[in-house]
Amino acid sequence: MSQPREPRKTQPDAETSTEVLDPETERSPVWKYVNRRLGLEKAGLKPLVLEAMNAPHPRFMNPLDYMGDILMFLFMNQVITGLLLMTHYNGSAMGNPFPAYQSTLNMTHSFWLAFVRDMHFWGANAMVVAVAVHMARVFYLGAYKPPREFQWLSGLVLLGCTIGLALSGYLLPWDQQAYWATEVATAMVKYVPFIGHDLLFFLRGCRYTCGSTLTLFFAMHVVLLPLILVLTIGVHVLLVIIHGQVDVEARLPKGYKEKHRLGQVSDFPKGYVPFWPDTIANMTLYSAAVAVILVILAATIPAPLQAMANYVNVPPAVTTYYRPLPVWYFLNFYQILKAAHGSLEDHLMVLGLPMVIGAVLVLLPFIDKNPSHRAKDRPIALTVAGIFAFGVLYTTYAGWKSEQAAPVLTKAIAHPSYSKNLLPIFSADCAPCHTTSPYLANFHVTSYSGIMRGGQYGKSVVPGHPNSSLLIHLLEKKSKKLPGVQMPLGAAPLSKAQIGTIANWIKDGAKNN
């Protein structure tokens, strides 16, 4: 007599299988369709996807924890708007007018194309801010510690790609601002010992920024960097799925992950919800809020477009002289460079400082041996990071402040102050060249010591004697050492009131007041 057949099990035996699948996901027609077409189950990806979708997340999370998801949205915004712009952009700097500039100018005359360009412009700026905030949040949580070292390193690659995309895209309009900002930023490469000038020529394709630079930057912007970014995002997201989020994992009951690797909706801890659909709904809401902000910015503040790029940048070749300044996220570095007053200091600031910061960021997961992720257990690391963050913000503000136009003087100040009355004039009208071109007579004008030391033509100031001071001679076009030269070179001369104020300061003894 045959034995009665045992009833078929509806759930896997906990002792023989660790896989607990969500029935709703199993019955999903979309999942079945994708699974059949891509063979996810055969490839071993099915459990991983299910784990990610069913992973428990707190019902209420810190908004900063969604910054990575916001970055994904911003990247998609850049891809979509960038593709639309490519259909109307001509990336060439050959001809008159330059096709790159003319095609960008034509976009501003179309409502929808202008709106798309504005969304792309503000999305790029938002990505730079968001990636900085995301990295700061990751550091605060200690999410770079083992076993998440490669997660942190992939994030550094994403940071570099984001800055590279922003910088390469900045040149594409080929206007004065784009041209000279790129000229300033790329000039930093020449400080690399021995091969600096060769690297600079390779990066630009010419001695100065030229049409070859535009072609190279365009290729980097639309092909090379996006490809690296997409591949790195895939690795980064995979590592996040494998290791989870630090703050989420820390709040789960002890041993929960080991017992419920794939998670069961019915067995979630109190206050937790599944990633799908609850957490994804929150991600969508935050991304929608960012989208609204981008739309408002794009609708109210158009992306800048100045006069067409001109490498001469001297009137009357151009109607308005453009002060060569870097883009805003390099203003901190620009401000630090002003503190350098010699060849050695220039190299240390431009080359040494970024290398030290980069090395610390790369080695951070391996040199920080503190296993704790809690803020109260990491006072030294967080204090150092706080000082660094403050320094970045302060120097960025100081760099922005130095961009502002010099105060308008209708009458020379009788007894001026160096810091209050003279430094704003030097910073606005002289610093752009004497800082971004450090070999220009080796004369640094952004500090009292630099003014008093002078440059390769000797001392610029003779205290008490303005008529004998080279600085006044250059401002009035009366120098015998440099006949016919009037500073600021290529820009409008200083007003009589400004020159008179500087002369009065020298007459009073050129004090550091």
* Beta partners for residue 57, in sequence order: 273
Asked whether the whole model's pTM tops 0.85, one would answer: no
Q: What is the pLDDT of residue 319?
A: 67
Domains of the chain, CATH where assigned: 23-50 (no CATH), 63-400 (1.20.810.10), 418-507 (no CATH)
**How far is the C-alpha of 129 from the C-alpha of 327, rounded, in Å?**
13
Below-50 pLDDT ranges, the chain? 2, 7-25, 43, 263-265, 438-439
Q: What Å distances lie between residue 180 and 175, 199, 236, 491, CA to CA?
A: 9, 19, 35, 15
Q: What is the pLDDT of residue 34?
A: 61
**How far is the C-alpha of 366 from the C-alpha of 144, rounded, in Å?**
9
Q: What is the pLDDT of residue 320?
A: 67
Size of the chain in residues: 513
**How far is the C-alpha of 425 from the C-alpha of 495, rounded, in Å?**
11
> Do 245 and 143 meet the contact criterion of CB atoms below 8 Å apart?
yes
Tell me the pLDDT tens digit for each residue of 448-468. 877 888 777 778 888 999 898
99, 72, 78, 77: which is closest to 221 by C-alpha? 78
Q: What is the pLDDT of residue 421?
A: 86
Give me the sign of the Cα torsion angle 167, 170, 176, 179.
positive
Q: What is the pLDDT of residue 37?
A: 56
Name the average pLDDT for the chain: 82
- Helices 67-86, 111-141: axis angle to 10 degrees equals 150
391, 388, 396: which is closest to 326 by C-alpha? 396
Containing H/E element for 453? helix 448-453
* Residue 267 structure tokens: 């067995």
Tell me the pLDDT tens digit for each residue of 371-411. 888 888 999 999 999 999 999 999 888 888 776 666 677 88
> Residue ranges of the alpha helices (H) in 193-342?
196-204, 211-219, 225-243, 246-251, 256-259, 280-300, 331-337
Q: What is the pLDDT of residue 35?
A: 62
